[in-house]
Structure 1
């Protein structure tokens, strides 16, 4: 009896380029309509509908209806973390147009990635918080000290430790970023 997770099933869902495009488009945490996801993936709405149904059935996406439109979002933060991990080890796709070059430049500069701030802005903010001794390493965690909590006008009870894996991510080849700010601080700042 094999009780390990079915990685091959998830990999086959994620492995189709149009689905990757849709999943990456949803990493900002915002729900998007099927028509927008189709446009971003450069596929027809009918093809997008088939892909989205498979991603929902596979547990990677959730859908909700609002009037005539169906909106999709990542099913959990774990899906975003898995996508981000894959993006760090994947070879970059060659840029083939000025538009793609500009989109990549913007992503490298700043982006939200589900529950954290990333890109050059995220890196700079994280480094500055460490430099100002607002963000401290504590074992395998990053924690915000009392000064950071006060600076952000939040009570200490709202802040919880974040794992370093969630806080300062390794080099991210797809955007050139080498860190991201921890989830709790990014959520508060955003």
Structure 2
């Protein structure tokens, strides 16, 4: 799994004045939760680019004063005026502690419904899951080979070992819908058979 390394400095001063000072130095105030202790730090804004502005699920390796924290991105805040990153929350990965994250869905295979002339419609981009850190994956692969025309693959159809999916089971992930051209062809074929 892809890991982004972020080097930062521990924070000793807090409050609006200290936070403003950090932001004026083009750094982002951050917090790491979930481990033995809560860690406050700051890091240069440019270090977050590959972690924040991507649809990929990635781990963050945060280096602070010789100590390394393995984390996942938990929450982001942006400035309402400038749209710059203003705060980041991380969740530290602890081996025997369940973690809740959002993993992107990757549709794999080629649907029989699409081969028959239908159109694939992706309805859900990611799944919310609960798992141990060792089971984390970059994405959840959903095979669409058997997806027929006018059918759906739902959350309940996805099974991944060691990962509990917390989305509602009836939500559709992908479906194959009939295209206008296919409907017209069927209507024309029906008219032809009535004429005979």
Please say whether Structure 1 and Structure 2 have the same fold, judged by a TM-score greater than 0.5.
no
For normalisation by structure 2, the TM-score amounts to 0.25
TM-score by length of structure 1 reads 0.25
Higher strand share: 2
